[in-house]
Amino acid sequence: GVRNGLEGAISEGFVELNAEGSFKFVHDKVREAAYNLTPDRDKKQLHYNLGKTLYSICEGKDVGNTIFLIASQINHGKEFIETDDTLRIPVAKLNMKAGKKALDGCDHKMAYFYFLAAISFLPDDSWESYYDLSLRLNVLMARAANSSCQYDEAELTLQRICKRARCLQDKLPAYFLLVKLPAYFLMVTMFLAQGHPNQACATCSSILTQLGETVPETVTTEMVGDMIPETLSMYSEVYGDNWLGKKMDDSTLCNIVKFYSAMATAAYFCKPLHMGAYFVCKMVQLSLRNGVCQYTPLALMQLSSIVIRIDNAAFVHRIAKSALVLSEKFGSSDEMTEVLVNYYIGAG
C-alpha cells in the first residue's frame, strides 16, 4: 500500500519515520519539490480533498485556529463545490465561522475574505431560500470591509442589505453602519470626505423618526442650557440605586439610543457643538429612564466631557467612572475604544 511505497523515499533520504509512527519530509525544500511535481490541474483537487477530509474529521467540534486551515484548503475546490448543491451551504457556514474567528482576533482583512468566500457559495436565490444566513453574512462582511478600510465595498454591501432586507428591524444594522461609515471616513480622510456628516445626520434623523422619535430640525443654546441641568439632576437621583444593573430590554429603545449615538458623532463634524450636546443628553435621559445598553457608556462619557466646564470635577469623575464600569460590563471593543478616547480627552 501507501506505506510500502514510502520505503523507497525513506531509503533515498527524502522521508523519515518519527517516534509516533508517522512520516514526514526531512526538509521543507523536499516537500516543496514534491509539491511542485504535482501537475497544476491536480493541485486544486489535492487541496480540496485535504480540506474535505479535515472538515469531515472536525465537523461540529471547536477546532480553534485550525478552522482557518480547513476553510482555506476546502476553498481551493470552489469549482467542485458550486456543482454540488449539498456542499454550498455547509461550506458557506464554514467560511462564516472562520470569518467570525478572524474578527474575534481583530484580523478584519482576513475576516473579509472568508465572508466574501462564504457569500460566493450561496445560491443565486439565497435571499429567498436562506434569508437569515444571507442577512448575517452580509452584515458581517460589511463590518469587516469597513474595518479593513474597504469603504466602497462596505457601502455596496450595506446598500444591498437595505434593498433586500424584509423589514426595518433587519435593516437597522446596515443603516447604522451606513451613517457611521462616512463619519469615520471623515476622520481618516478629513477634507476629502467633506459633506458626508450632513448625509449621516439626515439618515439618522430619518431612521429615528421611523422609530417614533421627534428630532428637531434646529436646537437652540437655550434648549441645551435647560437640558443639561435636567439630565444631571436625573443622574443624581438614580445614582447609587443600582441603576447600572438595570438593563434596557426594549430593542426599539436600544436602537433609538444607538442612532442618537451615531447622530451625535456625525454632528460633531458638521453642526454647532450644542446640537451634539442635545443628542448626548437624549441618550443619557433614555438610559436613565429605561435602563442601560451598550451605547450608554459612550453617552455618559460624552456627557462628562460636556459638563466638565460647568460642574465640579468630582461629579464629572463620578459620571466618567460609571461609563467605564458599564463599558467593561458590556465588553464591546468598538464602543470601549470610543469611551476611552472620550475619557482621556475629557475627564481623564
pLDDT for res 101: 92
pLDDT for res 306: 81
pLDDT for res 297: 87
pLDDT for res 52: 82
**Residue 292 pairs with which residues in a beta bridge?**
247
pLDDT for res 57: 78
Return the number of other C-beta atoms located less than 10 Å from residue 288's C-beta: 20
pLDDT for res 11: 57
Residue 247, classed as helix, strand or coil, is strand
State which residues of the chain have pLDDT below 50.
1-2, 6, 21, 23, 183-194, 335-337, 339-341, 343-348
pLDDT, tens digit, 9 for 90 and up, residues 251-308? 888 888 988 888 888 888 788 888 989 999 999 999 999 988 888 888 888 888 888 7
pLDDT for res 278: 93
DSSP state of 83: T
What count of Cα atoms within 13 Å lies in the side-chain half-sphere of residue 72? 8
**Residue 247 pairs with which residues in a beta bridge?**
292
Length of the chain, in residues? 348
Flag whether the pTM goes above 0.75.
no
pLDDT for res 15: 53
Residue 60, classed as helix, strand or coil, is coil
- The whole-angstrom separation of Cα 273 and Cα 264 is 10
Nearest C-alpha neighbor of 193 from the set 202, 178, 181: 181
pLDDT for res 34: 57
